[in-house]
């Protein structure tokens, strides 16, 4: 359902509709309730992170990885952070 309502979104990975934002907020709320076991990234994790064209640009150094239901969750830090730049850490869940 979310895919059909958001089909007019540009493919740049940054454009979002209100529906996509609401789905994200619900998924984020559900994810916060889960206990996660974080680990340091292995070489294969680093390759997956740097090979991902859309999310690798949002973080400079891969810090932690969690395997959750067939997805890899990444925490990456940025070299430049703080006002007016984005926060230091970014979290991503990738299938």
Q: Is there a contact between 51 and 25 (Cβ–Cβ < 8 Å)? A: no
Residues 26 and 42 in one domain: no
Predicted pLDDT at 65: 92
Predicted pLDDT at 30: 87
Predicted pLDDT at 3: 53
Can you give the residue range of the structural domain that contains 58? 37-95
Domain count, the chain: 2
pLDDT above 80: residue 5: no
Residues 60 and 20 in one domain: no
Residues 43 and 20 in one domain: no
Predicted pLDDT at 56: 72
pLDDT tier at 13, thresholds 50, 70, 90: low
pLDDT tier at 8, thresholds 50, 70, 90: low
Q: What are the structure tokens assigned to 82, written together?
A: 């703080």
Residues 51 and 5 in one domain: no
Rounded-to-integer distance, Cα 65 and Cα 36, Å:
10
pLDDT in tens, 31-72: 888 888 999 999 888 888 888 877 777 778 889 999 988 888
Rounded-to-integer distance, Cα 14 and Cα 55, Å:
10
Strand partners, 39: 65
Rounded-to-integer distance, Cα 46 and Cα 56, Å:
10
């Amino acid at each position: 359902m979310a895919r059909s309502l958001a089909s007019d979104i540009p493919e740049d990975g940054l454009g979002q509709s209100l529906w996509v934002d609401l789905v994200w907020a619900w998924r984020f709320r559900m994810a916060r309730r889960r206990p996660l076991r974080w680990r340091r990234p292995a070489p294969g994790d680093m390759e997956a992170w740097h090979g991902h064209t859309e999310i690798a640009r949002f973080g400079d150094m891969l810090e932690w990885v969690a395997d959750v239901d067939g997805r890899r969750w990444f925490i990456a830090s940025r070299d430049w952070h703080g006002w007016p730049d984005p926060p230091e850490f970014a979290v991503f869940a990738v299938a």
